């Protein structure tokens, strides 16, 4: 007799190719519209499914996991970050958690460089001028930005994405510096021509560009707080393609408005989609709608990793991308 297929619930719309493959392999319930599930819908999903496939817009907290039925055995996250999932509680309940690491590394690093260029070369200001139709023509002193070659880039978080940013920055002639929980091996530092700073304060005070590339954890919440932002040079800029909570957004807004920081490029925000309205008023701030990983190729590869994790679990093995609390 054929084995009963796993019941899989997907919380958001995924690329068509991914949804098709999921439907071929599992008893899958797909999302009809591309909106986040309500709390009630998530509760129903964890009560009835063998596998839940959430995204970063879903709060899979202890309260939700406590309502899970006996069937739920795997949370196969569609994405690398798992700060929206209570992994420890899931583990206590016998529910495995997997993610999709490494897939969006290059896409996010590309967007980091794009933001650095956009802020320092004033690209959005120029675009807005052209769209308004009020460009008076070329002038020697018009729309002057800054050259990034030779500037000091301080990378906060030198994991996969941080190292990918370092490779790209070096190609632009930037000097690469970094701060990390653990210093990289000498051969990796040498490969990236990267200088390690044990003191984040000292690094921040000496950089021309700060790039946030660390995960969201209790220890990184407001790591760039008001005191540390004050250490930045008035000519420096900061970009964030990681997690919004790493920066004290209100403090950043005040300092940019006061001219104490030259500008910012943000793809993530402290309160999710609730962007500080004062940030939108600043011409030297580039705001993007969390699109650092938004490539067709990347999103399909994420789906493929989800499928591999579920299929491996179904076959009685540990998912290759299983997350355990010690990894966080």
**What does the pLDDT read at residue 192?**
96
**What does the pLDDT read at residue 81?**
87
Give the pLDDT band of residue 2 (cuts 50, 70, 90).
low
Tens of pLDDT, residue by residue over 184-216, are 999 999 999 999 999 999 999 999 999 999 988
What's the number of domains the chain is made of?
2
C-beta atoms surrounding 101 within 10 Å: 18
As a whole number of angstroms, the distance between CA 89 and CA 92 comes to 5
Q: Is 325 a residue whose pLDDT tops 80?
A: no
Task: Provide mean pLDDT across the span 271-295.
Answer: 94
| Tokens representing residue 297 in the block | 């190729």
Tens of pLDDT, residue by residue over 95-133, are 999 999 999 999 999 999 999 999 999 999 999 999 999
Q: Which residue bears the tokens 């399909």?
A: 300
SS3 for the chain is: CCCCCCEEEECCCCCHHHHHHHHHHCEEECCCCCCCCCHHHHHHHHHHCCEEECCCCCCECHHHHHCCCCCCCEEECCCCCCCCECHHHHHHCCCEEECCCCCCHHHHHHHHHHHHHHHHCCHHHHHHHHHHCCCCCCCCCCCCCCCCCCCEEEEECCCHHHHHHHHHHHHCCCEEEEECCCCCCHHHHHHHCEEECCCHHHHHHHCCEEEECCCCCCCCCCCECHHHHHCCCCCCEEEECCCHHHECHHHHHHHHHCCCCCEEEECCCCCCCCCCHHHHCCCCEEECCCCCCCCHHHHHHHHHHHHHHHHHHHCCCCCCCEECHHHC
Domain match, 250 and 300 both? no
Is residue 94 in some structural domain?
yes
Domain match, 162 and 42 both? no
Residue 303: which CATH number?
3.40.50.720
Tens of pLDDT, residue by residue over 265-275, are 999 999 988 99
Is residue 2 in some structural domain?
no
Domain match, 93 and 153 both? no
Is residue 14 in some structural domain?
yes
Task: Provide mean pLDDT across the span 57-84.
Answer: 95
Q: Are 176 and 155 in contact (CB under 8 A)?
A: yes
Q: Is 242 a residue whose pLDDT tops 90?
A: yes
Is residue 283 in some structural domain?
yes
Question: With 0-12 CB in 10 A as exposed, 13-18 as middle and 19+ as buried, what is 50?
Answer: buried
Domain match, 98 and 233 both? no
Domain match, 246 and 112 both? yes
Domain match, 98 and 207 both? no
Is residue 202 in some structural domain?
yes
Is residue 146 in some structural domain?
yes
Is residue 58 in some structural domain?
yes
Give the pLDDT band of residue 1 (cuts 50, 70, 90).
very low
Instruction: Return left, alpha or beta for 247; rule: phi > 0 is left, psi -120 to 50 is alpha, else beta.
Output: beta
Question: With 0-12 CB in 10 A as exposed, 13-18 as middle and 19+ as buried, what is 328?
Answer: middle
Domain match, 139 and 276 both? yes
Domain match, 158 and 217 both? yes
Task: Provide mean pLDDT across the span 34-52.
Answer: 96
Task: Provide mean pLDDT across the span 34-59.
Answer: 96
Domain match, 125 and 113 both? yes
Domain match, 280 and 137 both? yes
Give the pLDDT band of residue 326 (cuts 50, 70, 90).
low
Domain match, 116 and 262 both? yes
User: Residue 233's closest CA among 210, 261, 258, 211?
Assistant: 261
Q: What's the domain range around 218?
A: 105-287
User: Residue 157's closest CA among 227, 100, 97, 81?
Assistant: 81
C-beta atoms surrounding 244 within 10 Å: 19
Residues ≥6 apart with Cβ < 8 Å to 88: 325
Domain match, 212 and 126 both? yes
As a whole number of angstroms, the distance between CA 247 and CA 224 comes to 5
Is residue 1 in some structural domain?
no
Q: Is 74 a residue whose pLDDT tops 90?
A: yes
As a whole number of angstroms, the distance between CA 284 and CA 310 comes to 44
């Amino acid at each position: 007799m054929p084995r009963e297929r796993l019941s899989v619930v997907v919380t958001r719309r995924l690329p068509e190719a991914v949804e098709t493959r999921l439907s071929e392999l599992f008893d899958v319930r797909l999302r009809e519209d591309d909106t986040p599930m309500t709390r009630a819908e998530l509760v129903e999903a964890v009560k009835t499914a063998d596998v839940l496939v959430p995204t970063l817009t879903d709060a899979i907290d202890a309260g939700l996991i406590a309502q899970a039925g006996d069937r739920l055995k795997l949370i196969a996250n569609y994405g690398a970050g798992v700060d929206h999932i209570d992994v420890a509680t899931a583990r206590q309940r016998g529910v495995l958690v997997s993610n999709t690491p490494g897939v969006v590394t290059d896409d996010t690093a590309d967007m980091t460089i794009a933001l650095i260029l956009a802020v320092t070369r004033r690209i959005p200001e120029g675009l807005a001028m052209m769209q308004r139709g009020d460009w008076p023509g070329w002038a020697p002193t018009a729309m002057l930005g800054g050259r990034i070659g030779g500037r000091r880039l301080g990378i906060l978080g030198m994991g996969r994405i941080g190292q990918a940013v370092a490779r790209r920055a070096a190609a632009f002639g930037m000097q690469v510096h970094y701060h990390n929980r653990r210093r990289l091996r000498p051969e990796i530092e040498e490969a990236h021509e990267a200088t390690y700073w044990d003191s984040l304060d000292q690094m921040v005070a000496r950089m021309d560009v700060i790039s946030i590339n660390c995960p969201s954890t209790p220890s990184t919440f407001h790591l760039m707080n008001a005191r540390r932002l004050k250490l930045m040079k008035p000519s420096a800029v900061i970009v964030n393609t990681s997690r919004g909570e790493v920066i004290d957004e209100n403090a950043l807004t005040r300092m940019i408005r006061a001219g104490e920081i030259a500008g910012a490029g943000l793809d993530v925000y402290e309160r999710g989609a609730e962007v500080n309205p004062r940030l939108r008023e600043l011409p030297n701030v580039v705001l993007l709608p969390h699109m650092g990983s938004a490539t067709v190729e990347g999103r399909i590869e994420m789906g493929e990793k989800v499928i591999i994790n579920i299929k491996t679990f179904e076959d009685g093995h540990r998912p290759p991308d299983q997350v355990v609390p010690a990894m966080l």
